[in-house]
Amino acid sequence: MAARALRPEIRVLAVRFSPTGESWGAVTTEGLLIYSLDPTLVFEPFQLEEDITEGSVLAKLAAGHRARALIMALHLNLERITRRVVERVPLTDVESLAAGLPHRYVEKLLAFVSAELEGTRHLEFYVQWAECLVRQHAGWLRAHAGRVTPLLRHVQKALTTKLGAIGKICDHNKYLLSYLSHLGQLRSAEPALKRTADSDSDSDSDVEGAAPPEPVDSSDSEAAAMVVIRGS
């Protein structure tokens, strides 16, 4: 009889998807199984044209055409190029650039911004980008809520995580500054306390160095008492 390979049967008890839609997990009789995608490993250009290359994007950026360079970078869909273009935009120009961005690029740029929020050092800069994109294109995002809701949840999660981390740092700094402030007050009060202690010690030494009172002769005291009695 030929040997037959039997595969174990696995029962799935629950399935849950991540807010971004890029991963999902299954609770099975074999344990928790998690499947995810890593989009950074895939070159996936968006409506790419022949004249859109890394060199042409950087040339537009160097010439000061930031809006065109941003759109070309989103077409090319390379993180390092998009990051370079986005971070070259002055903070004062973010609002106008976000307002003039065509709707079909909003989702891609918002996805890039939400990913950068997790590990960037330029937190305020990317928060400004996220705020401007959501505010300027609120109507379009509301009309496509079914498609962009996972993306907006990802932005919210990244901001909440950053809020918790920064809150801990701020609390630590607040208590440390309070401690240093009290320590400085104690240090500044030390000379006054030292002067007070020195004056007290000088007073004690003056009292100790004073001459003792002269003893009173008992016979003189008795004679004085007799005079008082006789006079009375």
Q: Both 118 and 162 in a single domain?
A: yes
CA distance 22 to 34: 11
Query: Which residues sit opposite 190 in a β-bridge?
Result: none
Residue 132 located in a structural domain: yes
Q: What is the DSSP letter of 215?
A: P
In a domain, 60, yes or no: yes
Q: What domain range is 128 assigned to?
A: 103-189
Q: pLDDT 10s per residue in the chain (232 long)? A: 444 556 678 889 999 988 777 788 899 988 888 887 755 444 445 555 667 788 888 998 999 999 999 998 988 888 999 999 999 999 999 999 999 998 889 999 999 999 999 888 899 999 999 999 999 999 999 998 888 898 899 999 988 888 888 888 888 898 889 888 888 888 887 776 666 666 666 565 555 555 555 555 555 555 554 544 555 4
| Domain identity same for 57 and 78 | yes
Rounded to whole angstroms, the Cα distance separating 22 from 114 reads: 14
Taking CA atoms, 60 is separated from 53, 71, 73, in Å, by: 11, 11, 10
The reported pLDDT for the residue numbered 41 is: 45
* 138 within domain boundaries: yes
Residues 183 and 107 in one domain: yes
Q: Can you say how many angstroms the Cα of residue 5 is from the centroid of all Cα atoms in its chain? A: 54
pLDDT at position 228 is 46
Domain assignment present for residue 230? The answer is no
**Encoding tokens for residue 213?**
């009172």
pLDDT at 193: 64
Claim to verify: residue 80 and residue 48 sit in the same structural domain:
yes
5 found inside a domain: no
pLDDT of residue 205: 58
In a domain, 76, yes or no: yes
For residues 185 and 129, state if they share a domain.
yes
Q: Give yes or no: residues 114 and 158 share one domain.
A: yes
Is 126:116 a contact under the CB 8 Å cutoff? yes
| Res 146: pLDDT | 86
Say if residue 123 is in the same domain as residue 170: yes
pLDDT for 78 equals: 87
Two tokens at 158? Answer: 């990244």
> Is 179 in the same domain as 139?
yes
Residue 96 lies in a domain: no
Give me the number of domains the chain comprises: 3
- Please report the pLDDT score of residue 2 as a whole number: 45
pLDDT of residue 48: 57
**Is 119 found in the same domain as 78?**
no
Q: Are 11 and 29 in contact (CB under 8 A)?
A: yes
Residues 66, 126 within the same domain: no
Indicate whether 133 and 174 sit together in one domain. Answer: yes
Burial of 58 (0-12, 13-18, 19+ CB in 10 A): middle
Same domain, 48 and 115: no
Q: How far is CA 231 from CA 158, 219, 224, in A?
A: 108, 19, 11
In a domain, 221, yes or no: no
pTM value surpassing 0.85: no
Q: How far is CA 87 from the centre of its chain?
A: 20
